[in-house]
Amino acid sequence: MLKSTNNLLSVFLFIWFLFFISFFSFAQEAIDYEFTVAQDASLIDMNSGTTELIGANKTATSSNVIPLGFEVWFMGERYTDFSVNCNGTLRFGTTKIHPNGNTYDIPDNARIAVFAGLDSDPVTNDYIAQWKTSANGKVHYKIIGTAPQRQLVVEWKNLHINYESPFEDATFQLVVHETASQPSQPQGGRIEMIYGKMNLFLDLRNVRCGIGGKNGGNETMGIDLTQNPPTNKVGDVSNVLDSGVIPSLNRLQDGNRVKFTFQSPIPNVEAENLRTICDNQNGIQLDWDLTDGSGGNTVGSVLYKSTDGTNYSFIYQTEKIQDVSYFDADVDLQNTYWYQVYTVTEGQLSTLQSSGELRVAPNEVPEFDLGKSILCEGDSVVLDAGNFASYEWKNGANQVLGTSQTLSVKMAGNYAVTVFDTEGCEQLGRSEVIFSRPPVFSLESEYTFCENESITIEAPDGQDFARYEWVRKSGQKVEEGQDWETREIGDFYLKITNEDGCFSTDTFTIKALSVPSIEIVGEPYLCEKTPLTTLTAQVDDTGNDPLVYEWYKGSTFLSDTSELEIDEVGIYTITVKNTVGCETSKSIEVINCCEPVLTIPNAFTPFSTPDNNEYGIEHQDLKSFHMRIYNRWGILVFETTDPEIRWDGTFNGKPLQPSVYQMVIEYTGCRNGVTFQEKLTEAIYLLD
């Protein structure tokens, strides 16, 4: 008996030691899973496409170990196999679950208890928390979905709760989601428990529902089924349930069933900068970095390996969060390998970073591309190999050209640089230098335009002319485009750049030519008294003689001299052109302008002598006229704007008394080509 006790103690100490090492190797905890409860779920259809794990009328029975066909991370551990028993429990891994296993909290057993129990008969000490498949019952599974979002669905159908129950008391399902890189599988590692009809045949003190990692302790989470809806608890939860319907679980209709969901966190730290060193004599040394050195919420890093760059297989998971290296000894150094590194939480992989992938070919000198460089004719180009410990540049003829980080070359061709880093690792960089001829073109050396106009300079076409820039001699760009319309003067150059970025320039000058300045002198008006007038074009052209004159009335040419004799009104235009071709025009309107003449009588006899019985004026060349006559009391007795109308000496149809009246005349006329206005006031006598 003592020997047996010592053996048990040794086993316990060994298990505790494994637990201690594992606990400090990983940071995973069951509390890191987000737990939610839904009451509107449905059972997944399992009427077809399933594989039977345990048949009818079975108790204390476990299935074989079944390959998943994909990866699942559970409590920070990777699994690809599972087995189940009649007691509502699944175990991950290649070790078959115990047929009587009926809890989630067993050391070194990563497991999920969808609905299990621990009670034993107090008299016989037999386990009474044992479930049994009914005659219509079974445990079966199927895989649904496609990679990387596949799901394992296990159903315990028509179980007796417990094995002595005469009733088919329970049906429930477990759904486990594939774990794959974010964001391709946002539900990676998710665990779902869905419940149908749920009845107990006996009162039970220890009903278990929850998840448990292989290290127990903080890796367990039990669900309090006595609450409705159930609530989660960290650690072990033993529920006391009475026989009969379980209120918190029993649902008979799809769309109204209870579902528990355990969702692991997405990594908030990622792996990057995967690299190796060159002197891998016995294997390949891999190192990487974490985006946060603390590791964040991750439990470690995982590595995958490929021999074709497409199909990857898992090779390693770090034992500690801060471990960021791995030596791969399982390689043939004559082959090429590809690696990927991720971080992982309890159930989810991080996103693959671009720098988290690496191709390793130990038998090749790693090459890197320095890209193509354009060498413009008459110029040089600088090649830069980057930051390394030493350099050796060579041309296509294998001649050594330099041993510095950069190399200035003036010839097209292929160049290579062998570099060594601080660890002595060799790499080969390659660069192609391509020759490009700058655009060939020419412009006039001088362009002129008349100062009252603008000039458009047209640049030549070219097959590879990509950009045109018009620039002042000082370097200030004034325009872009093939043609330039401008009024600017001075020294300029045109810069034309080809598609390779090579350019050439040509300089030119723009000058503005003077334009004749015209003044038209003479009297621009006519009258019957003076039926002719002469207009003269006086020109200031800074000595640019001879000049060409052209007189027009409308579109009719009149004369080619500087003077023009005019005998009719109208608009006349003179155009003057100098010897450099600059011209200017000016127009003038010749109007009819005769000075008005008014004869104003001072008396009339409207009611006696017939020769002077109406009052009016004699006039010539009036433009406007307005006459008003007032009596001695200032009353307006007569008014007209027509100088031909006469006053008959009446007011409102009645003759006025002889008296003195005041006449006011306002009129406009033209004098010396200018319209003017005058006002006259005269006394007139109305006589018998």
Q: Please check the confidence at residue 18 and state whether its pLDDT lies above 70.
A: no
Phi, psi of 23 (to 5 degrees): -65, -40
Q: Which of 2.60.40, 1.10.10, 2.40.128, 2.60.120 is the CATH number of 597-686?
A: 2.60.40
H/E stretch holding 19: helix 2-25
Which CATH architecture describes the domain 271-360?
Sandwich (2.60)
- What pTM did the predictor assign? 0.59
Best CA proximity match to 270, nearest among 241, 249, 252, 294: 294
On whether the CB atoms of residues 237 and 159 are closer than 8 A, the answer is no
Residues 80 and 285: their CA atoms lie apart, in Å, by 27
Residues 62 and 126: their CA atoms lie apart, in Å, by 19
Count of other CB atoms within 10 angstroms of residue 254: 14
Whether omega before 183 lies within 30 degrees of 0, making that bond cis, reads yes
Q: What is the mean pLDDT of residues 101-114?
A: 92
Q: Determine the pLDDT at residue 13.
A: 38
Q: Determine the pLDDT at residue 91.
A: 97
Q: Which of 3.40.640.10, 3.40.920.10, 1.20.120.1200, 2.60.40.10 is the CATH number of 517-591?
A: 2.60.40.10
Fold of 367-436: Immunoglobulin-like (2.60.40)
Q: Please check the confidence at residue 15 and state whether its pLDDT lies above 60.
A: no
Tokens 């974010």: give the residue: 182
Q: Determine the pLDDT at residue 295.
A: 92
Write b or e for each residue in 193-203: b if 16 or more Cβ atoms lie within 10 A of its Cβ, otherwise e: bbbbbbbbbbe
347: confidence class by pLDDT, cuts 50, 70, 90: very high
Q: Please check the confidence at residue 22 and state whether its pLDDT lies above 50.
A: no
Residues 380 and 382: their CA atoms lie apart, in Å, by 7
Residues 267 and 477: their CA atoms lie apart, in Å, by 53
Count of other CB atoms within 10 angstroms of residue 671: 14
Radius of gyration of the chain (CA): 55
CATH 2.60.40.10 intervals, the chain: 271-360, 367-436, 446-512, 517-591
Q: Determine the pLDDT at residue 671.
A: 87
Q: Could you give the 3-state DSSP secondary structure of residue 20?
A: helix
On whether the CB atoms of residues 493 and 559 are closer than 8 A, the answer is no
Best CA proximity match to 552, nearest among 585, 519, 578, 530: 585
Asked which of 14-28, 236-250, 317-331, 420-434 is least confident by mean pLDDT, the reply is: 14-28
Residues 190-221: tens digit of each pLDDT: 999 999 999 999 999 899 999 999 888 889 99
Asked which of 28-32, 219-223, 502-506 is least confident by mean pLDDT, the reply is: 28-32
Residues 439 and 461: their CA atoms lie apart, in Å, by 10
Residues 87-102: tens digit of each pLDDT: 999 999 999 999 998 9
DSSP 507-571: EEEEEEE---EEEEES--EE-SSS--EEEEEEEE-TT--S-EEEEEETTEEEESSSEEEE-S-EE
Fold of 446-512: Immunoglobulin-like (2.60.40)
Q: What is the mean pLDDT of residues 414-437?
A: 91
Residues 511-531: tens digit of each pLDDT: 998 888 899 998 888 887 778
Q: Determine the pLDDT at residue 543.
A: 63
| Identity of the highest mean pLDDT range in 275-279, 281-285, 502-506 | 502-506
Residues 371-394: tens digit of each pLDDT: 999 999 989 999 999 999 999 999
28: confidence class by pLDDT, cuts 50, 70, 90: confident
Q: Could you tell me how far CA 55 lies from the centroid of its own chain?
A: 58
On whether the CB atoms of residues 71 and 32 are closer than 8 A, the answer is no
